[in-house]
């Protein structure tokens, strides 16, 4: 299993090193390189149109011999999508994302919706502050007992079942955008979520 880290712009209050510290490749997305430097991490690759990275950071990247994949600012994809495309086809991997917290609402929503649009979305973990966001069709996950979690349906979910929670469900149809599955509590140390069709975000 290989581990990748993508650091994107915007705020980052997460401590990724408390979750994982061994990465096969670290990818900075434009000004996301600043988060890496604060964590004393050196990127292997810098991707983006380089419109928000500081001159000092860009100089440091060049001096360190980082592979720079630069794009014209007049493009149809965000820098983050270009970074995900860069990892397309990578198998047997976990891709951690840091950054992208708060900031402009359109960027925040685009990150949230872009991840599940990729064929490898189940490999991605967005570390957002002290929370993790994963995207699944089903899951079995070890969690801390009494910890809070939310399930956000990104499509209609047919026959959704939740086990291991204060409010379990059994074969309930949940519509896209419905709030039934927000703010649940784990009453076991393992959560199981299954549905016949559909994709959801699991925040914990």
Q: In the predicted model, what is the mean pLDDT of residues 131-138? A: 98
d(CA 171, CA 191): 16
Per-residue model confidence (pLDDT) at position 158? 99
**Residue 148 has which token pair?**
């809070």
Kindly report, residue by residue over 40-86, the tens digit of the pLDDT: 999 999 999 999 999 999 999 999 999 999 999 999 999 999 999 99
Tell me which residue of 67, 65, 64, 63 sits closest to 48, measured CA to CA. 67
Q: Are strands 148-153 and 184-185 parallel, antiparallel or unpaired?
A: antiparallel
Judge: domain 138-203, CATH 3.40.50.12780: no
Give the H/E segment covering residue 58. helix 55-63
Q: Is 103 a residue whose pLDDT tops 90?
A: no
3-state DSSP call for residue 146?
A: coil
Tell me which residue of 135, 35, 33, 134 sits closest to 83, measured CA to CA. 33
Q: What is the mean pLDDT of the chain?
A: 97
3-state DSSP call for residue 96?
A: strand
| Residue 102 confidence class, pLDDT cut points 50, 70, 90 | confident
Kindly report, residue by residue over 28-40, the tens digit of the pLDDT: 999 999 999 999 9
- Rounded to 5 degrees, φ, ψ at 73 are -70, -20
Paired with 197 in beta bridges are: 158
Q: Which CATH superfamily is domain 2-130 in?
A: Thiamin pyrophosphokinase, catalytic domain (3.40.50.10240)
Show me where the domains of the chain are located.
2-130, 138-203
């Amino acid at each position: 299993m290989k581990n990748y880290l993508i650091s994107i712009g915007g705020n980052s209050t997460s401590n990724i090193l408390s979750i994982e510290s061994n990465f096969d490749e670290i990818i900075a997305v434009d000004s996301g390189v600043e988060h890496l430097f604060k964590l004393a991490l050196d990127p292997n690759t810098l991707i983006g149109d380089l419109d928000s990275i500081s001159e000092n950071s860009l100089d440091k990247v060049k001096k360190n011999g980082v592979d720079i994949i630069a794009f014209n600012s007049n493009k149809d994809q965000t820098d983050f999508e270009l970074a995900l495309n860069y990892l397309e086809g990578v198998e047997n991997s976990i891709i951690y994302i840091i950054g992208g917290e708060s900031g402009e609402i359109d960027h925040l929503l685009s990150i949230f919706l872009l991840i599940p649009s990729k064929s490898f979305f189940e490999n991605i973990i967005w570390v957002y502050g002290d929370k993790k966001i994963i995207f699944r069709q089903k899951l079995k996950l070890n969690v801390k007992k009494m910890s809070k979690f939310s399930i956000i349906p990104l499509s209609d979910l047919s026959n959704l079942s939740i086990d291991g929670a204060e409010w379990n469900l059994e074969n309930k149809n949940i519509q896209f955008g419905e709030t039934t599955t927000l703010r649940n509590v784990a009453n076991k140390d393992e959560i199981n979520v299954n549905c016949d069709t559909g994709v959801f975000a699991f925040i914990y």
